[in-house]
């Protein structure tokens, strides 16, 4: 089963050992496989490089987490609402959810960029667009400019949320892929938690002088513009650092940059016990790429082909992210202060509870690092959905009863709900799509599933303030029902992918659906 084949030659001196062929008989004389020659003079390599790159790239996703959380807080600011002339619930819903429109559009368009320009440059492009959008929001003079900034930030977020999970999967060793992609979601929630606490401290700027009564004064504007501008500063730092990350070796090999692809693999696997690990990975990936080219030439890799040939994978990937949103997380993430206010907490106390909730949420994203490659994906998704269903159902009941214990119980249940999502559908939802697609259609597949995420996100963001205003506690029954649907879908249609090389996922699908067929 060794993918490496030496040339047929009776002599095996040092020179001949450099000649390898793939499964199709192609020779690689143009590739220098001497790992020591390339890595000997480099100190930052192996496990350190893999972990550092994973953590750093995860910070790009923190931009979305920050953007998501910062608006939930400033919506409760007197200064913000006065400056924009007290927007209605419908206007609030539109301004909040319009980010998802931008993200949905860019996540569909980004597939072509991924295949043409690679993962690294696409990440940098998404970050640059995010900076432009964040700047417009920070200095907006009216709600229209603010909305345009949200759309542009959405374009950037759509690119990053499509790109980063794929990049993480493609640079990670198979035995640690789940953990490293879950670290990415922790980066997302780090941004969210940071934004919530920034909002909390900036809330008190409103108490300086006459800020609450003069919304165009310096202190009044600083209270809500400062939290928005901080995300621009973070993005600028990430943009500079992004020039120093490695390119995806799978993309480099797919565009026949074989020497560069091998160099990245040599760096990533420098700490592996098997000295030939990088070489084996090189040929495993190359053989898979060539097999896909034979089965589906690049000119034929259309959206129609993906939807018809990989229908089950498309449905799995899209449902993983679509259901994650319909299960109600952004009712809490976007409107957490409003939820706590509705439950009985007032003003700064609502923001304080949101901050505490964010810290618990962040902590809940850590257990999957250690569980996802041991338990597998399915047990985590099922247990998380059942916990979320329980919490959402109890929130509806407690708010309906409206007794003295309601505020405390709602706060507790919201925190448990967030932790349940943070340990399950949050990280695993973003892990599933890049895992299930072959490289030939991975860019298009992840783009479509991410667009599904943003469409569901938009629907939730648009309807939440309206439903909160009109039906109150009954709103929570809708995501509770979605959680039950999620359990059924995972048990019936999701194969387990833990510990598998990305190039071996095809066999798992064939086996899983063959067993299900009569």
**DSSP conformation letters of 470-491:** HTGGGGGHHHHHHHHHHHHHHH
- Is the Cβ–Cβ distance between 392 and 476 less than 8 Å? yes
Domain boundaries, the chain: 5-30+249-295, 46-245+299-516
Does the CA dihedral 144-146-152-154 come out positive or negative? negative
Task: Give the span between the Cα atoms of 176 and 386, in whole angstroms.
Answer: 26
The conformational region for residue 413 under phi > 0 = left, psi -120 to 50 = alpha, else beta, is alpha
Band of the pLDDT at 145, cuts 50, 70, 90?
A: very high
Please tell me the least confidently modeled range out of 88-92, 103-107, 162-166.
88-92
CA angle 256, 257, 262 (to 5 degrees): 115
Among residues of the chain, what percentage have pLDDT more than 90? 33
| Angle between helices 46-74 and 143-171 in degrees, nearest 10 | 160
Q: Give the pLDDT score at 364.
A: 94
Contact of 246 with 261, CB cutoff 8 Å: no
The residue whose two tokens read 């059942």 is 386
- DSSP type of residue 6: E
Average pLDDT over residues 132-153: 93
Please give the C-alpha separations between residue 485 and each of 310, 322, 389, in angstroms, as whole numbers: 23, 12, 10
Contacts for 477 with CB less than 8 Å, ≥ 6 apart: 392, 393, 396
How does residue 83 score in pLDDT terms, banded at 50, 70 and 90? very high
According to the model, what pLDDT value does residue 449 have?
Answer: 92
Higher pLDDT, 125 or 109: 125
Neighbours of 142 (CB within 10 A): 10
Is the torsion defined by CA of 339, 343, 345, 347 positive or negative? positive
CA distance linking residue 44 with residue 188, whole number of Å: 26
Q: Which residue has the tokens 């809500």?
A: 224
Reported confidence tier of residue 82, pLDDT bands at 50, 70, 90: very high
- 242 Cβ contact partners less than 8 Å away, ≥ 6 residues apart: 60, 120, 123, 124, 127
Structure tokens at 19: 């000649």
Q: Check pLDDT > 70 for residue 335.
A: no
The dihedral built from the CA positions of residue 98, 104, 107 and 109, taken in this order, carries a sign that is negative
What number of CA atoms fall less than 13 Å from residue 27's CA on the CB side?
9
What digits encode the pLDDT tens for the residues 218-268?
Answer: 999 999 999 999 999 999 999 999 998 999 998 899 888 999 999 999 998
Q: Distance between alpha carbon 160 and the CA centroid of its chain, in Å?
A: 8
H helix runs in 243-376, sequence order: 249-254, 258-268, 277-295, 303-309, 311-326, 329-333, 336-343, 347-364, 367-371
3-class secondary structure, 170? helix
- List of residues 6+ apart from 401 with CB closer than 8 A: none
User: What is the model's pLDDT at position 121?
Assistant: 92
* Residue 58, pLDDT score: 85
Phi, then psi, of 83 in degrees rounded to 5? -60, -40
Q: Residue 267 carries which DSSP code?
A: H
Distance between CA 169 and CA 432 in Å, rounded?
Answer: 10
pLDDT digits (tens, 9 = 90+) for 405-440: 877 888 888 889 989 999 999 999 988 998 888 877
Token couple for 136: 């417009």
Quick: pLDDT tens for 286-311.
988 888 888 777 777 788 888 888 89
Confidence label for 1 from pLDDT (cuts 50, 70 and 90)? very low
Confidence of residue 515 (pLDDT cuts 50, 70, 90): low
Judged by DSSP in three states, 87 sits in coil
To the nearest 5 percent, what fractions of the chain are helix, strand and coil? Answer: 80, 0, 20
Three-state SS for 334?
coil
pLDDT band at 116 (very low <50, low <70, confident <90, very high): confident
**46-245+299-516, superfamily in CATH?**
MFS general substrate transporter like domains (1.20.1250.20)
Residue 302 has, within 13 A of its CA and on its CB side, a CA count of 5
Confidence tier at 379 by pLDDT (50, 70, 90): very high
Coil, strand or helix: which one is 182? Answer: helix
Euclidean distance between CA atoms 399 and 358, whole angstroms: 22
Percent of the chain with pLDDT over 70: 93
Distance in angstroms (rounded) separating the CA atoms of residues 503 and 396 = 45
CA-nearest of 254, 243, 238 to 290 is 254
End-to-end CA distance of the chain: 31
Helices 258-268, 46-74: inter-axial angle, 10-degree rounding: 90
Question: Where is average pLDDT lowest: 208-222, 479-493, 503-517?
Answer: 503-517
Cβ atoms of 70 and 228 within 8 Å: the answer is: yes
Q: State the Cα–Cα distance between residues 350 and 333, nearest whole angstrom.
A: 13
Cα–Cα distance between 82 and 212 in angstroms, integer? 8
- What the block records as the tokens of 153 is 């930030």
Rounded-to-integer distance, Cα 281 and Cα 175, Å: 13
State yes or no: pLDDT of 40 exceeds 80: no
């Amino acid at each position: 089963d060794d993918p490496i084949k030496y040339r047929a030659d009776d002599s095996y001196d040092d020179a001949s050992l450099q000649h390898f062929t793939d499964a199709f008989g192609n020779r690689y004389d143009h590739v220098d496989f001497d790992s020591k020659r390339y890595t000997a003079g480099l100190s930052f390599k192996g496990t350190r490089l893999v972990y550092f790159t994973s953590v750093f790239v995860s910070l790009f996703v923190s931009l979305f987490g920050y953007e998501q959380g910062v608006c939930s807080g400033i919506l409760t600011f007197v200064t913000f609402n006065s400056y924009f002339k007290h927007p209605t619930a419908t206007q609030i819903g539109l301004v909040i959810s319009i980010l998802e429109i931008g993200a949905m559009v860019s996540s569909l368009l980004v597939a072509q960029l991924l295949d043409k320009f690679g993962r690294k440059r696409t990440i940098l492009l998404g970050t640059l667009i995010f900076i432009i959008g964040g700047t417009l929001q920070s200095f907006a003079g009216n709600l229209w400019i603010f909305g345009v900034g949200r759309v542009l930030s959405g374009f950037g977020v759509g690119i990053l949320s499509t790109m980063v999970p794929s990049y993480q999967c493609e640079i990670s060793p198979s035995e640690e892929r789940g953990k490293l992609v879950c670290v990415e979601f922790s980066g997302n929630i780090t941004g969210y938690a940071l934004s919530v606490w920034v909002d909390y401290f900036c809330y008190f700027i409103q108490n300086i002088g006459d800020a609450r009564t003069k919304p165009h004064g310096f202190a009044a504007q600083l209270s809500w513009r400062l939290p928005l501008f901080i995300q621009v500063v973070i993005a600028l730092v990430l943009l500079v650092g992004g020039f120093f990350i490695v390119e995806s070796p799978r993309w480099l090999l797919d565009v026949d940059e074989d020497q560069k692809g091998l160099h990245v693999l040599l760096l990533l696997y420098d700490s592996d016990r098997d000295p030939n690990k990088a070489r084996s990975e090189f040929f495993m990936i190359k053989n898979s790429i060539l097999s896909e080219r034979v089965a589906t030439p690049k000119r034929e890799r259309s959206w129609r082909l993906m939807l018809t040939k990989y229908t089950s994978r498309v449905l799995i990937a899209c449902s993983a992210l679509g259901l994650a949103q319909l299960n109600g997380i952004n009712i809490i993430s976007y409107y957490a202060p409003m939820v706590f206010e509705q439950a009985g907490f007032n003003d700064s106390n609502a923001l304080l509870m949101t901050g505490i909730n964010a810290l618990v949420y962040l902590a809940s994203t850590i257990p999957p690092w250690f569980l996802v490659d041991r338990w597998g994906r399915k047990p985590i998704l099922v247990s998380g959905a059942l916990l979320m269903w329980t919490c959402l159902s109890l929130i509806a009941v407690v708010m309906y009863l409206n007794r003295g214990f309601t505020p405390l119980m709602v706060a507790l249940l919201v925190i448990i709900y967030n932790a349940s999502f943070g340990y399950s559908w949050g990280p695993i939802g973003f892990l599933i799509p890049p895992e299930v697609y072959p490289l030939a259609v991975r860019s298009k597949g992840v783009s479509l599933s991410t667009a599904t995420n943003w469409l569901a996100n938009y629907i939730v963001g648009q309807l939440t303030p309206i439903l909160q205003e009109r039906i109150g506690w009954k709103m929570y029954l809708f995501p509770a029902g979605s959680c039950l649907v999620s359990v059924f879908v995972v048990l019936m249609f999701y194969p387990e992918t833990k510990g598998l090389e990305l190039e071996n996922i095809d066999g798992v699908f064939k086996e899983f659906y063959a067993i299900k067929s009569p």
